[in-house]
Amino acid sequence: MQNQPHHSQGAGISLDDIYYMLFRHKWKIIILLPRHLGAGVVYHLRPPEYESEAELMIRYVVDDTRSGPDGS
């Protein structure tokens, strides 16, 4: 039996994991990236069609009648 040290990998993401993900999903990235960039450009260049404004009225109630625990 050989006594080799066990190398445990941490919970983080390594550079190899990132390369694997990029090359595994390269066609999805190539197809969807220009669409997302175009949507971002349109979002920032085109003004919104409408804006809404709202006000909220909150009544502040002060209770001056102080009564004890026995109701007096």
| pLDDT tens digits, 2-22 | 665 555 666 788 999 999 999
For residues 21 and 13, give the distance between their C-alpha atoms in angstroms, rounded to a whole number: 11
Q: Mean pLDDT of all residues in the chain?
A: 82
70 has a pLDDT exceeding 90: no
Q: How far apart are the first and last CA of the chain?
A: 87
Q: Which residues contact 29 (CB under 8 A, 6 or more apart)?
A: 22
Given CA atoms 41, 34, 25, 14 in this order, what sign does their dihedral have? negative
Using pLDDT thresholds of 50, 70 and 90, give the confidence band for residue 50. confident
CB 17 within 8 A of CB 10: no
DSSP state, residue 46: S
1 has a pLDDT exceeding 70: no
